[in-house]
Chains A and B, each alone.
Chain A
Amino acid sequence: MSQLFRPGANTFAKASVIAGLGVALGLGGILNNIERTSYVTDVNVPRDQPVMFTHKHHVSGVGMDCRYCHSSVEVSSSAGIPSTEVCMGCHSQIWSEAPILEPVRESWRSGRSIQWNRVHDLPGYVYFNHSIHVTKGMGCQTCHGQVDKMPMVWKENTLLMEWCLDCHRAPEKYIRPKDQVFNMEYKPAGNQAELGAKLVAEYKVRKLTDCSICHR
């Protein structure tokens, strides 16, 4: 009876073991990295909005405080998106004829809210509360980046769970004095490790890493 396979088949069989392992590991590695690219996370991708609103101009140009528009950030889970009335508080007086602001005036006339596009969209199964973070010394800029330098806002951080846990496991790495929370230019005076540990103790910040803290 003739041979079914040529001797080369043995080499092929051995190579396939290594190749199989390589493909499996390689695929795993690729998938693992794709998850962290901005293609998936939208980090650093400016989001289109119905109004050409620029944080850069309003914060670093005009010098407005975050809380003028995001007024519920210290008392509520949501920081709050300003109503059209808040915009019109100024823009009925200045730039009241600017074509760029027509969508705002349209909203004002019709009474329909402006449909802003959400930049930071947490999944529904995650509970998040702005007020506890800002009142315990977490700066806006720590999570949102230097919004005062963003013409159109983008996500500065991934919002992946590993990112949340990075701080929840070691809040001393990021905590700042309470009076510096809304400062976009904050730099720690001295060593963050020392200052952080001191503030964590002073503000009684706990390392909240139980599942049910966020997944309620």
Chain B
Amino acid sequence: MDKELVQKPIAVGIAQDPVIGPGHDYTTVTDKISELVLTTKIHKEWVIGFLFSASLASLLGVAMYFLLFKGIGVWAPNVPVGWGFDIINFVWWIGIGHAGTLISAILLLLKQEWRTSINRFAEAMTLFAVACAGMYPLMHTGRPWLAYWMLPYPNTMGMWPQPRSPLLWDVFAVSTYATVSALFWFVGLIPDLATLRDKAKHTVSRYIFGALSMGWRGSADHWQRYEMAYLLLAGLSTPLVVSVHTIVSFDFAIGIIPGWHTTIFPPYFVAGAIFAGFAMVLTLAIPMRAFYKLEDFITMHHIENMCKVMLATGIIVVYGYFLEVFFGWYSANEYEKAVIMNRFTGPYAWSYWALIFCNGLAPQILWWKKYRRNLLLVWIISNIVSVGMWLERWVIIVVSLHRDFIPASWGYYTPTIFDEAFFAGTIGLFLTLMFLFVRLLPSIAMFEMKLLVPAAKARPESEGGH
């Protein structure tokens, strides 16, 4: 009787759908997940998907060739729209990464069990998204081999980077984010890499997994230190969820361009990032779960919770849109008003109303449980949200810039084929890395899943340890 009372909170937390399917024990969890990596079988579908992504990624190579050998003039940005696809896509990718950090760090600290099966690949998604995002600031300089100039180091120019520029804050925010995310992801992988080392048949893979698992033996000492290190890294990552996109929003908010210069930007960008990130996790998780038959690990419970986070952050984002309009009116500034009216009715009005549909209207369907459980619908909504979040950056950047203060310098921005190829290329790079990841590394944290099986729960909470 006593024992049941202790377990009660867990039962409430998983009202209808469990966080792990029935009938699983330690062995089945390990076997099911490690089998995806250790099998020698190559799925035809995987190969097709990989080749498709890799060919898209090679488009990135072509786009970069033209960018570097012909110069950045192949891209469309020019007066008055000095920032175009490069920063739109940078912000879009960085935003997508945020869900991974939120899931792995904040939900860990909040002891949300449902994070367990999705945190690993959400973190991988973060890393790959940051890598794609990094391509833009790196390449838009036109001379990426001089990118180290952005770092403070003793140089013969007698110069330090300009600390008053938010673009420099970006350099530090994003590189810190990439470093901590990579570390967190790798530390989280170590016990699983050791499991793979022990289960692998092939000598080469045993040595590779062996070297990567860094001498992990699973002793009590190891676990004790590991838990502490993981917790510390989670603590380090938590402020990054908020800080990185806040600083990205400063790229705009610090400027005095009408449409950018508002105080709502930091919270509105952070919410948008989490919104976009969860949409991308769902976009990836739903097909992966179906293809690898992981319904027992990524249950409807996960899907529903992610839909709820998406819904909540989506509403914050819509609040941001509302406040932008409010500020336009409240500022009593004719340029601010003109920017808002231009968004509603100007030459790019289509993008504003498409944005309101994608981020404002479409996700509202997730209020209904019935639709949150409809996988196809959720997948479609997630994609709509990704498009919507891209449009948001388009509206902020292009629509705010294309009408300068003086009508004589108004312009119209249309991306060139090279802008588009570069963007398609980064999508290809992202998908290629995802395909490699699900094939080469355990995409679900085995050792954490094992804490969720009934056998682990049978013990009193104090020994459960997690």
Contacts and interface: CB of A to CB of B under 8 A. Distances in A.
Interface in B144-194: 153-159
Nearest to B203: A4
B215 A9 contact: yes
B206 interface: yes
Contacts of A162: 155-159
A165 B156 contact: no
Contacts of B158: 160-166
A97 interface: no
A157 to B, nearest CB: 12
B206 to A, nearest CB: 6
Interface string B182-224: 0000000000000001100000001100110011000000000
Contacts of A165: 157-159
Contact of B198 (A1, A36, A163): A1
B213 to A, nearest CB: 10
A95 interface: no
A32 B155 CA distance: 7
A1 B215 CA distance: 15
Contacts of B197: 4
B68 to A, nearest CB: 19
A13 B214 CA distance: 8
B259 to A, nearest CB: 28
A10 B157 contact: no
Contacts of A1: 198
A26 interface: no
Interface residues of B, number: 15
A5 interface: yes
Contacts of A10: 215
A35 interface: yes
B157 A13 contact: no
B157 A160 contact: yes
Contact of B210 (A4, A28, A161): A4
A32 B154 contact: yes
Given A9-B215, A10-B215, A13-B214, A4 B207 contact: yes
A155 to B, nearest CB: 15
Interface string A49-86: 00000000000000000000000000000000000000
A5 B156 contact: no
Interface string A1-29: 10011000110010000000000000010
A36 B156 contact: yes
A142 B197 CA distance: 67
A126 to B, nearest CB: 11
Interface in A154-201: 158, 160-166
Contacts of A161: 156-159
A161 B155 CA distance: 9
B41 to A, nearest CB: 24
A98 B156 CA distance: 45
Contacts of A4: 197, 206-207, 210
Q: Choose among B153, B158, B159 the residue with the greatest number of A CB atoms under 10 Å from its CB.
A: B158
Nearest to B157: A161
Contacts of A9: 215
10 contacts: A10-B215, A13-B215, A28-B153, A32-B154, A32-B155, A35-B156, A36-B156, A160-B157, A161-B159, A162-B158
Given A1-B198, A162-B158, 6 more contacts: A4-B206, A5-B211, A5-B215, A162-B157, A162-B159, A163-B158
Interface of B: 153-159, 197-198, 206-207, 210-211, 214-215
By Cβ-Cβ distance, the 7 closest A-B pairs, closest first, are A162-B158, A161-B157, A165-B158, A4-B210, A160-B156, A35-B156, A10-B215
